[in-house]
Amino acid sequence: MSVMEAKSISIVFGGLKAVTNFDLKLGKGELVGLIGPNGAGKTTVFNMLTGVYSPTSGDIVLNTSREGHNYKSIIKLKPYQITQSGVARTFQNIRLFKDLSVLDNVRIAFHFNVKYNALQGILRTTAFYNEEDEITEKARDLLKIFNLQDKEKELAKNLPYGEQRKLEITRALATNPKVLLLDEPAAGMNPQETHDLMNLISFIRNKFDLTILLIEHDMSLVMGICERIVVLDYGQTIAVGTPEQISKDPKVIKAYLGEGV
Amino acid sequence: MKKNRIFNTITLLSASVIVFIVLAALLFTGIIDEYNGQLLTLAGIYIIVSLSLNLITGFTGQLSLGQAGFMSIGAYSSAIAMMNFHLPLVVSIIIGGLVTAVFGLLIGFPTLRLRGDYLAITTLGFGEIIRVIMVNLETYTGGAAGLKGIPSFSDTGDFLKDSIIKFSWVYVFVIITIVIVNNLINSSPGRAIVSIREDEIAANSMGINVSYYKIFSFTMSAFLAGIGGALYAVYFGYLNPVMFWFLTSVNFVVIVVLGGMGSITGTILAGVGFTYIQEWLRFFKDFRLVIFGLALIIVMLFWPRGLMGTNEFSIVKFVRKYIRKEHEGGSSKPSKIKGVK
Ligand SMILES: Nc1ncnc2c1ncn2[C@@H]1O[C@H](COP(=O)(O)OP(=O)(O)O)[C@@H](O)[C@H]1O
Ligand SMILES: [Mg+2]
């Protein structure tokens, strides 16, 4: 049973075919890697899946029921509606709310589930206080998982790079997603940090019952944790398979050799 | 938790009452003369309009150069409510705010797609259009000749009494405005608004309906600016479209930038400062603008984020620290107390 499907999506940017006929079925609970050389179109796939760009052709569907099959097309939805439907993401170029505290970064992600309205907020009703306490507590619980609990008062921009990446994941988790899309979450981390992060990603997948699609530029990083890998090159899917199969695939080796890695 | 809330509320309430009593007493005893009383009242109105601008520009990140336009809608509609429909003063002021809010909502939509300079130019155009409309709606607005005889808060002929009553009314509205903006910003919808300023794309991907909150913020900002405009009408008792030309909008931008975009206390400080400096520079006539420009350049060179940045001076924290020091039995040297978070 799949949670999300991309059906032959393509996008053209002024003549450049950034992604061509991309197909993907994300099974429930799967951890899938999306790899490929720089400029292959990985981030563009994310941007289509999350509604930032509309594909030139093709369809994207989301399974809205937990057990059965009830697919709805999300291709016309705005990014915030897609997030509200259960797809959250992080960004390759970190996009935190820089001048806000770590805690507020996470609390913002709870906003669309908050029931009290602006007037109740201004009048400071009991509903306001109760729900604020509730989301603050939830935000703290999430921060604990990423070992950020002691930094809740710091401004996001003052965190070290690795922690900023973790905060972005925390924030995405706070939207309570079914599908989590991570765009190069280990970029800029040292090997030890990367290793720990990969373990953490596998841990949250189990804990929150998530389906994860993970972009990684460096092939070796995802080999350990992904069940399945999709390889993009020049916007085309050149291989799909287990890490084992992918690492032996001549087309993949060639694509990466061309890059000189 | 609950104890904290009660403590905070009591602290803030007593702080506003104490400030009021002190100022009223100073006015009453003549230590602050009527002239300064008038200036403080005017500063209060400037603070209200500047806070409305700070909401849309400092907190939501959308530069508006049309705040004087909103102000004039509030001013004229409340004046008309009083003079043509004979509604009570306070009711008219609130009507001024509501009518302006409708305009805020209406111009909120077309400006959704605009950003930065384009938004600024469009809002500037809006302000000028409103001014031209006010000149041409002569039957209701008195046109370019102006509108005279707007009822005042108090018109007993006793200058001292009148100025204290006017000051008190404006003071109440200032406090209400501060509470509205502060409580809104420190709530979940407020965080949604600030997230738009921080990063629109990220806000969107966090499930926040960015368009909705931009329009919400525009509407709220217009409402408060309309209230400010209505008070302005009552304060002067006379209106003329020239009062709301685009340099008036620029003045509010100056106040917000000087105080710090996204700082409520910064706007309050800068609002009072601006009113006084403007008055002192009256003597320089047109040179005033040059001096203002220079002052602005100097401030921006040394404090590029304004006096307060995005920080706030918190009375609650100040009092808390003070109490803690007392409890510890240590010397509570005021010099050690930094109430700025
Ligand atoms: N908004 C855009 N406008 C034009 N070209 C774009 C845009 N976004 C991405 N591209 C192009 O699409 C290609 C794929 O980019 P991207 O998806 O960022 O690659 P990757 O994430 O795999 O490194 C690149 O050639 C890039 O220049
Ligand atoms: Mg990329």
Say what the pLDDT of residue B328 is.
58
Say what the pLDDT of residue B320 is.
76
Taken in order of first residue, the domains within chain A and their CATH numbers are 2-96+165-257 (3.40.50.300)
DSSP A6: E
What proportion of chain B, given as a percentage, has pLDDT over 70? 94
Of A97, A171, A169, the closest CA to residue B199 belongs to A97
The CA A41 to ligand 1 mean position distance, Å, reads 6
> Residues A4-36: pLDDT tens digits?
999 999 999 998 999 999 999 999 999 999 999
Q: Which residue's CA is the nearest one to ligand 1's atom 16?
A: A41
Q: Is the pLDDT confidence value at B83 over 80?
A: yes
Of A97, A110, A123, the CB nearest to B202: A97
For residue A212, the cross-strand partners are: A31, A180
Q: What chain B residue is nearest to A157 in terms of C-alpha separation?
A: B198
Q: What is the mean pLDDT of residues A248-260?
A: 77
Q: Which residue's CA is the nearest one to ligand 1's atom 18?
A: A43
Alpha carbon distance A178, B285 (integer Å)? 65
The per-residue DSSP string of B268-308 comes to HHHHHHHHHHHHHGGGGTTHHHHHHHHHHHHHHHH-TTTTT
Say what the pLDDT of residue B1 is.
62
* Residue B321 pLDDT grade (very low, low, confident, very high; cuts 50, 70, 90): confident
Alpha carbon distance A233, B280 (integer Å)? 68
Alpha carbon distance B282, B53 (integer Å)? 25
Of A148, A23, A28, the closest CA to residue A96 belongs to A148
H/E run at residue A79: helix A79-84
**More confident site: B314 or B105:** B105
How far does B48 lie from chain A, in Å, by closest CA?
A: 17
Q: Is A54 in the pocket of ligand 1 (CB under 6 A)?
A: no
CB B66 within 8 A of CB B84: no
To which residue do tokens 């102000």 refer?
A: B71
- Whether chain A has a CB inside 8 Å of the CB on B202: the answer is yes
To which residue do tokens 């100056």 refer?
A: B254
Average predicted confidence (pLDDT) for chain A: 93
β-pairing, A87-89 vs A179-183, is: parallel
- The type of residue at B41 is T
Alpha carbon distance B51, B45 (integer Å)? 10
Least confident of A49-53, A124-128, B70-74, B115-119: B115-119
Q: What chain A residue is nearest to B209 in terms of C-alpha separation?
A: A80
Burial (CB count <10 Å: 0-12, 13-18, 19+), residue A123: middle
* Residue B158 pLDDT grade (very low, low, confident, very high; cuts 50, 70, 90): confident
Q: Is A39 in the pocket of ligand 1 (CB under 6 A)?
A: yes
Say what the pLDDT of residue B337 is.
35
- The type of residue at B282 is R
Which of A189-203, B17-31, B180-194 tops mean pLDDT? Answer: B180-194
* Residue B326 pLDDT grade (very low, low, confident, very high; cuts 50, 70, 90): low
Q: What is the mean pLDDT of residues A167-183?
A: 97
A236-241, strands of its sheet edge to edge: A87-89, A179-183, A211-216, A31-35, A228-233, A236-241
Alpha carbon distance B26, B171 (integer Å)? 15
From A20, A34, A44, the mutation candidate for ligand 1 (largest count of ligand atoms within 8 A of CB) is A44
For residue A101, the cross-strand partners are: A155
Q: Is the pLDDT confidence value at B338 over 50?
A: no
What is the phi/psi pair of residue A143, to 5°?
Answer: -60, -35
For B193, other C-beta atoms within 10 Å of its C-beta total 26
> Residues B10-49: pLDDT tens digits?
877 888 888 888 888 887 787 878 888 889 999 999 999 9
CB A15 within 8 A of CB A212: no
Q: Residue A173 corresponds to which tokens in the numbers above?
A: 């988790």
Alpha carbon distance A84, A68 (integer Å)? 20
Distance (Å) of CA A211 to CA A144, A205, A215, B53: 21, 7, 13, 44
Of B188, B199, B202, the CB nearest to A114: B188
Say what the pLDDT of residue A259 is.
59
The contacts of residue A99 (CB under 8 Å, 6+ apart) are A155, A156, A157, B198, B310
CB B42 within 8 A of CB B235: yes
- Whether chain A has a CB inside 8 Å of the CB on B132: the answer is no
> Residues B220-267: pLDDT tens digits?
999 999 999 999 999 999 999 999 988 899 999 999 999 999 999 999
The CA A41 to ligand 2 mean position distance, Å, reads 7
- Whether chain B has a CB inside 8 Å of the CB on A83: the answer is yes
Residue B73's SS3 state is helix
Of A108, A122, A129, the CB nearest to B180: A122
Inter-chain CB proximity A99 and B189 less than 8 Å: no
Q: Is the pLDDT confidence value at A131 over 90?
A: yes
For A61, other C-beta atoms within 10 Å of its C-beta total 17
**More confident site: B202 or B322:** B202
Inter-chain CB proximity B180 and A80 less than 8 Å: no
- Which is the closest atom of ligand 1 to the Cα of A14? 4
Residues 208-247 of B with CB under 8 A from A: 208-210, 216
**More confident site: B147 or B21:** B147
Of A26, A81, A99, the closest CA to residue B207 belongs to A81
Which of A59-73, A176-190, B91-105, B296-310 tops mean pLDDT? Answer: B91-105
Q: Is A41 in the pocket of ligand 1 (CB under 6 A)?
A: yes
Q: Is the pLDDT confidence value at B324 over 80?
A: no
Taking the model in full, what pTM does it have?
0.91
* Residue B138 pLDDT grade (very low, low, confident, very high; cuts 50, 70, 90): confident
ipTM, two decimals, is 0.93
The CA A40 to ligand 1 mean position distance, Å, reads 8
**More confident site: A223 or A233:** A233
Say what the pLDDT of residue B332 is.
38
* A228: Cα within 13 Å, side-chain hemisphere: 16
Alpha carbon distance B28, B25 (integer Å)? 5
Of A196, A227, A229, the closest CA to residue A215 belongs to A229
* A187: Cα within 13 Å, side-chain hemisphere: 17
Q: Is the pLDDT confidence value at B110 over 90?
A: no
Taken in order of first residue, the domains within chain B and their CATH numbers are 2-258 (1.10.3470)
CB B166 within 8 A of CB B175: no
Q: What is the mean pLDDT of residues B291-295?
A: 80
Say what the pLDDT of residue B163 is.
86
For residue A16, the cross-strand partners are: A13
- Whether chain B has a CB inside 8 Å of the CB on A154: the answer is no
Say what the pLDDT of residue A255 is.
82
Q: Is the pLDDT confidence value at A149 over 90?
A: yes
